[in-house]
Amino acid sequence: MNVDHATAAIILAAGKGTRMNSDLPKVVHPVAGRPMVCWVVDACRDAGIGRIVVVVGYQASKVTEALQDHDNIEFVTQSEQLGTGHAARMAQPVLDQDSVREVVVLAGDGPLIRAGTLRTLIETHRREGAAATLATSRIPNPSGYGRVLRAPDGGFEAIVEEKDADATQLAINEINPSYYCFGRAELFRGLERLGNDNRQGEYYLTDVPAMLKRDGKVVRVVDAVPPEDVLSINTPEHLREVDQVLRRRLGVDS
C-alpha cells in the first residue's frame, strides 16, 4: 500500500460522551472487540493517509493506552471542551508545515467509516481543486445529525447543527457524518476565524466549509456514504447497534 505523506488526518477523540452512562472516554468503548477509535485509525491507515494526529482531552491516558499498539500516532491535547473547531485547531502546531497538503478531519466515535470512502473523498478534493470537500449521506431519520444545506444550483451552501436548525432545515435528510477533507492552509486559517455565536457557545468545525465558500473558495460535496456507515455512537444503545453492524460486516459472531 502506498503511503501518502502529503495527507494527514485529525481524529477528534477528546470528549467524555456524557450519554454513555460511563466514566470511560466514549472513544475507548469496545466495538467488535476493540476500542472504537482503533477502527477509525485503521481506516485512515488503509486509505494510505501518512500522518495521524489524535486530539485527546477527557482521560487522555486511556485514549493513548487504547492506541498503544498503533505506531506513529501523534497526540495533542484539548484541555477545554470548546467544540469541534477548537479541537481541530489543537493539531495546528504539529501540522503547520508545507509538506502537508490536505488534512482529513474525522470523529473518533464513527467506527463504521471505510477506507474506500476516505480515498474517494481525498481523490475528489484533489481533482476538483477544492479548499474543502465533505462526504454526506441521505438517511430516512436524520435526527441527531447536522443537516447539509444546498445552494439553488445544487452545490454546497452550509452545514447547520441540529440544535441550531429551524423546522425547514430539520426536515432535510442529507446529513453530515463528519468526514471532511480540507486544504491544510485553508483549514487552519478558517479555524482561526471561527466564532462561537450559537446555542452551544462552541466553535464549530462545521462552520468552516461555509466560511470558505463565502471567501470564493471551491467547496465540494461527495454523496458517497451508505446510510449504515454513518451511525455514530452517543448512547449505550447506539454502541450495541454499531457493534452488531460491524460484526456482520466482518463476518464474526456477536
| Active-site annotation, residues | 19
Strand partners, 156: 150
C-alpha cell at 112: 463504521
Helices (H), 73-206: 84-89, 92-95, 115-128, 167-170, 184-193
In this structure, which amino acid lies at residue 74?
Answer: E
Give all strands (DSSP E) within the chain, no chain letters: 4-13, 30-31, 34-35, 49-56, 73-77, 102-107, 132-138, 146-150, 156-160, 174-183, 219-222
User: With the C-alpha atoms ordered 66, 72, 77, 78, is the resulting torsion angle positive or negative?
Assistant: negative
**Dihedral, CA of residue 39, residue 45, residue 48 and residue 54, to nearest 10:** 90
CB atoms within 10 A of CB 176: 25
